[in-house]
Amino acid sequence: MTPHNEAKKEDIADVVLMPGDPLRAKYIAENFLTDYKLINSVRNMFGYTGYYKGKRVTVFASGMGMPSMGIYAYELYKFYDVKSIIRLGSCGAYSPDLNIFDTILVNNSYTEGNFAYGLEGVNCHLIHADDELNSQLINTAEKSNIKLISGDVLCSEVFDYYVKDLDALISRFPKDLNIIGAEMESFALFYTAKYLNKKAACLLTVVDSHYKKQEISADEREKSLNTMINIALESL
């Protein structure tokens, strides 16, 4: 147990799917898992462990932003012996080629923030997903005839809808990166995994677009992510 997680060590599987929203964790457990049970409700950050086609898996919410992700990922890796975490999230599109509901597999996560410096005094702003996990996810998508778009993302410390000059933000991106979307948690997950010698990957569903002015409702955000959820579960 930790200050943020009341689960017993044996309650948590060695593979964790990690949406940001606690209600999305609840949705995944109720609609995709069998014999599941609630194993954490501290701060209403719901965690469930159950089975998908006989494979034991935990679904655990991270909350929003890098600090929250950093706490839950660190504790799951360090104190619960979790081997792999796959983040399941939503993102905004920074590429005109992307449409609402497209599924992204993150290669690199870039941040202007100082998560790595805060954790261990390292000036690092770019981190790569685990190649083995990404390969598994790609293979699963191909076998299921699901279009999966690989690319780099911005991991922001602020919700980009509130940025005063989004074009100025985009102009600051390193030119050698293929940043196609923005979210708020992947860098903390990837860096924590590297820090503790664990594995991490991130699947994202596009829910709004900087270029096409497309967006969906909060209810659609929760229910429209099934493609991404299926890829993650089938990859197990």
- Beta-bridged to residue 5, according to DSSP, are 2
Q: In sequence order, what DSSP letters do the residues of 70-134 get, joined into one string?
A: HHHHHHHHHHS---EEEEEEEEEE-STT--TT-EEEEEEEE-SS-HHHHHHS----EEEPPHHHH
- Asked whether 104 and 153 are in contact (CB, 8 A), the reply is yes
Examine the pLDDT at 206 and tell me if it is beyond 70.
Answer: yes
Q: Which fold has domain 9-235?
A: Rossmann fold (3.40.50)
State pLDDT tens for residues 151-197: 999 999 999 889 999 889 989 999 999 999 999 999 999 999 999 99
- The residues assigned a catalytic role are 208
Mean pLDDT of 198-221: 83
State pLDDT tens for residues 132-152: 999 999 999 999 999 999 999
